[in-house]
Amino acid sequence: MFPTLLLLLQAGVWSPRTEPALNEALAQTCAASLADKKPVLLQFSAEWCGDCRAAEALKADPAVQAELAGWHTLLIDVGRFERHQPLLKAMGATGIAWWVAARPTDCAQPAAAWPRLKVGPIEPTSDRAVESPAQLVSWLQAARG
């Protein structure tokens, strides 16, 4: 097992949530975003997904960490697509690793209604559009505006 993956697994990066637990996490993330005006980054991910693991590894880079300090992030473990399908579909996901940058305006609205800043796959090993820390920082900065 790769050392980075082992550390991610030990850190509990992928933690399955029930629908009520996800809804609570989304509500907390929304409230925090409204309080400090930082955008939200929803990351649809799974432990088995090679692109998801590669994206998580990119987040260890200091430049990525500095950019992510300006975000509220929420990793949503979709398992083998048996979890959180309604939200995944509502966010336009065609697969994973799928990231949604959003700026909530009303926490009474579901996350699917949050205004989106940028949406798309973050697949460092498959499509290689975002395969380096610098490219990930650029994606996030473009989303944040």
Dmax of the chain from CA atoms?
A: 43
Residue carrying the six token digits 């990793």:
75
pTM metric for this prediction? 0.88
Can you give the pLDDT at residue 128? 82
Alpha-carbon distance of 76 to 56, in angstroms, equals: 13
Domain ranges (residues) in the chain:
18-144
| CATH number of this structure's domain 18-144, picked from the four choices 3.40.30.10, 3.30.43.10, 3.40.50.300, 3.40.50.720 | 3.40.30.10
Tell me: pLDDT of 5 over 90: no
DSSP line for 80-135: TTTS-HHHHHHTT-SSSSEEEEE--S-TTS-GGGSPEEEEEE--TTTT-SS-SHHH
The 10s digit of each residue's pLDDT in 21-63 is: 999 999 999 999 999 999 999 999 999 999 999 999 999 999 9
